Structure 1
Amino acid sequence: MSTDKMKQQLVNNSIVKPSTKGGFNWSLILGAAFLMATSAVGPGFLTQTTVFTQTLGASFAFVILVSIFLDIGAQLNIWRVIVVSKKRAQDIANDLLPGLGFVIAVTVALGGLAFNIGNLGGAGMGMSVLFPEITPVLGAAISAVIAISLFLLKDASKEMDRFTIVMGASLMGMTLYVLLSTSPPIGEALYRSIWPEKLNVLAIVTLVGGTVGGYITFAGAHRLIDAGMAGQEALPQVNSGSISAICLASVVRVVLFLAALGVISTGVILDPENPTASMFQHAAGNIGYKLFGLVLWTAAITSVIGAAYTSVSFLKTLHPFIDRNTRGFIIGFILASSLVFCFIGKPVTLLIVAGALNGFILPATLSIMLIAARKSAIVGDYKHPVWMSVFGWLITIMMAAMSLYTLFIMIFG
């Protein structure tokens, strides 16, 4: 089959759609940015932010600020190299060392599957909060059907972009409502963002890993590649999209942090079993509790879509059949995740193993991108900024060291 026919078949049989030539394709950029941002803002993101706010208080502002800079550094490096090379991350890895891309693809897909099980659990719990007569298992099944239905639509790529944008904007609006229901000490938060009273390095690493770790940072970049936005001429759009994605996720983080800080500053002790639900309820009463259910469901369903889409984008390298049937494999990925959750529950061992592997994905893939950025056989005559490379290597070393430390603790206690 000729190259042109293969490209046309991909357009017809998958969710891939070429981008328009010339100028900024704002719809695509926003879609890629929101896909990455909503992939990051999952159930774990909500709990993580609330728990760290309770632990560090206003000093958590410093952690958020530092993590934002690290997130931008990691994402800019990865997105630029992927788009300039016109290749997905696993293909770049295979170019550097044959077989390495396959290892990364399987690792990312395993992590995506495990976390998708957790995301569906969050979606089921959110739906159960909204409708008490619906059990979390039934809620997860309904959420899976909704996600699958999106990919059954004729122009699934554009519908996915629209869905993530609408859901992401709604998520921001809902968390902002909760913030306005509290009176957080904003002045102290601003002061502590520069001069923290408490410092937790592990919290910084956790936030960076939760925002751009695993499959998350590749969601938007692979979306751009699939849409045909590639080459050095696309760099301005890549810069806008990657930074926008981090800013979107960070806005949700900051608003959620301030809302939690407003509640905690009154002396309230949050329920350790479900700190985020407790925070929402203390902030806005029963309305706040229902709002928590809607926020949780929104965060979870968008993360389900992002995890499935990105995980399958990595599996495309394994066999041409997967590449030709992307839509079917995404649906199958969501279906498999929901079946595991509904009939087995959350497999603890799988989640633990995937979590440990996920900690190594960012430093491994970021280092691969940084090496590839200096290989003319991969990026052509593109010159990667030196400051960006230095920043990227600092992030790589820090994340690798903390991941090794975490693994050591897991093994030896």
Structure 2
Amino acid sequence: MSDTEHHVASASAPSPRSKFVGRVMPLFGAIALMATSAIGPGFLTQTATFTQQLGAAFSFGILISVLLDLAIQMNVWRVVGVSGLHAQELAQRVLPGLGVVLSVIVFICGFIANMGNVAGAGLGIKVLFGLDPRWGAVITTVLALVIFVNRYFIKLMDATTIPLGLVMIGLTLVVAVISSPPVDQAALQTVVPEEIDVLAITTIVGGTVGGYITYAGAHKLLASGITGPGRVREIARTSAVGVVATGVMRWLLFLAVLGVVATGTVLDVTKNPAGDAFQAAAGDVGFKIFGVVLWAAAMSSVIGASFTSVSFISTYSRRIRDREGLAVGAFVVACCTVFLLAGQTPVTVLVFSGGFNGLVLPLGFSVTMWIAWRRRDLLQGYRYPRWLIVVGVGGLALSWVLAVLAFEPVFGLLK
């Protein structure tokens, strides 16, 4: 080989650093997609609403949501990742027709949630720049289209959701410190709550791990090619880190709002309770910070909800699979159009969306646990850890109990 040929070969070969980045970025992208999908406008509204109602006792609900999140995501990521199949494909192989049912339910949940995400993005831009929320929704939709019409949209998703997630956590931490919450009360009532509200727990669980959110990170792993028994360690670590990241944001937002309501401030839970909390904590600057957090939460959730919802129908159509980015973009446009025609999504609908996701959560998770327990053939011969099955079954049982107890209260929200 000549010196010139050797130089060209060396220049074209990826460096160790680029190999590392290429391996790690999809993992962090999956973490960010799951975490930011779980932290949308509905999550902000739900947390502020229930913190106003329950005070420090809501910390128990957050603890239950984090524990359930761990039990669910560690199993869902492992089953989907090791099998290399989407959740609906797995359900279809367990029981013909079940995959279609799961796809329809998750797709509808994703569409409803995404209307709230688009509306939240519009409200965030209104807080920041004073624009009509409808214009804010359109601007956000256009930005999302820029990502999805690109042939490298998977990588662009990573480059967008990771920094948005860091911005949300950083700014919420600032407000949480400023509001000076009673951390001792929150810590005590995390384990010994004065009040337990099943509707609040089911709603926050559904809003942070139910519906499409259950599968956002796992389906992103599939899109990035991270599958098979040989990648199980990466899949397991990534799922745990994703839950921790989501849990940190839940606690920070809860503490930020708790610091405000503990002073006797009453939030308007019918309009913008989270915005009221940020403004009460840090004045006009706090309100602008809320605008940034709300838009970042909404934008990242638009990406997560759209990508995940379309992933549930792409397996049924080769045309959609071949043009998945365009299909996701069309989904965003449809959600924005319905929002513009219907008007702003009220707080009640955002809370109902989380509650409804909590009701449908056990269906898909039951399939996941059945595969982990009985269908080793779908896991490419992988021997599933028994301890993880026990954890998953415990989480599944709790999710069914919550769904049954909260069924009537959730639909009562629409009265």
TM over 0.5: yes
Match of 1:92 in 2: 90
Q: Tell me how far apart the structure 1 counterparts of residues 320 and 158 of structure 2 sit (CA, whole Å).
A: 22
| 1:211 positional shift | 1.2
1:111 and 1:358 in contact (8 A); partners too: yes
SS in 2 for 1:290: helix
Q: 2:81 aligns with which of 74, 80, 83?
A: 83
Q: Quick one: which amino acid aligns to residue 393 of structure 2? A: W
1:112 and 1:215 in contact (8 A); partners too: yes
Q: Quick one: which amino acid aligns to residue 34 of structure 1? A: A
Q: How does 1:167-178 map to 2 (within 5 A)?
A: 167-178=164-175
SS in 2 for 1:251: helix
Q: 1:297 aligns with which of 292, 295, 298?
A: 295
Deviations 1:154-212 (A, max 9, x none): 42111110110000000111111111212111222222222222222332222221111
Segment drifting more, 175-184 vs 384-393: 384-393
Segments of 5+ residues of structure 1 without an aligned counterpart are 1-19
Q: Tell me how far apart the structure 1 counterparts of residues 334 and 354 of structure 2 sit (CA, whole Å).
A: 19
| 1:355 positional shift | 6.6
| Alpha-carbon spacing, 1:350–1:193, altered in 2? closer, same or farther (3 Å) | closer
| 1:346 positional shift | 5.6
1:340 and 1:346 in contact (8 A); partners too: no
SS in 2 for 1:61: helix
Q: 2:28 aligns with which of 27, 30, 54?
A: 30
Same amino acid, percent of matched pairs: 42
Q: Quick one: which amino acid aligns to residue 138 of structure 2? A: A
1:128 and 1:136 in contact (8 A); partners too: yes
Deviations 1:50-73 (A, max 9, x none): 122222222222221222111100
Q: 2:128 aligns with which of 127, 130, 137?
A: 130
Segment drifting more, 198-207 vs 38-47: 198-207
1:94 and 1:100 in contact (8 A); partners too: yes
Match of 1:157 in 2: 154
| 1:309 positional shift | 0.4
Match of 2:4 in 1: none
| Alpha-carbon spacing, 1:378–1:34, altered in 2? closer, same or farther (3 Å) | same
Match of 1:400 in 2: 400
Match of 1:10 in 2: none
Deviations 1:121-155 (A, max 9, x none): 010011111111x1011110111001111123342
Q: Tell me how far apart the structure 2 counterparts of residues 37 and 101 of structure 1 sit (CA, whole Å).
A: 25
| 1:263 positional shift | 1.2
1:111 and 1:355 in contact (8 A); partners too: no
| 1:264 positional shift | 1.5
Q: Quick one: which amino acid aligns to residue 379 of structure 2? A: V
Question: 2:243 matched to 1:246?
Answer: yes
Q: Quick one: which amino acid aligns to residue 181 of structure 1? A: I
Match of 2:9 in 1: none
Question: 2:188 matched to 1:191?
Answer: yes
Match of 1:282 in 2: 280
| Alpha-carbon spacing, 1:225–1:54, altered in 2? closer, same or farther (3 Å) | same
1:117 and 1:338 in contact (8 A); partners too: yes
Q: How does 1:3-402 map to 2 (within 5 A)?
A: 25-132=23-130, 134-272=131-269, 273-345=271-343, 358-373=357-372, 374-402=374-402
Deviations 1:240-264 (A, max 9, x none): 1111111111111111111111111
SS in 1 for 2:263: coil
| Alpha-carbon spacing, 1:280–1:355, altered in 2? closer, same or farther (3 Å) | closer
Q: Quick one: which amino acid aligns to residue 339 of structure 1? A: T
Match of 2:8 in 1: none
Deviations 1:65-95 (A, max 9, x none): 2221111001111110111111010100111
TM-score of the pair, normalised by structure 1: 0.89
RMSD of equivalent CA atoms: 2.5
TM-score of the pair, normalised by structure 2: 0.89
Q: Tell me how far apart the structure 2 counterparts of residues 57 and 219 of structure 1 sit (CA, whole Å).
A: 31
| Alpha-carbon spacing, 1:220–1:178, altered in 2? closer, same or farther (3 Å) | same
| Alpha-carbon spacing, 1:408–1:182, altered in 2? closer, same or farther (3 Å) | closer
SS in 1 for 2:211: coil
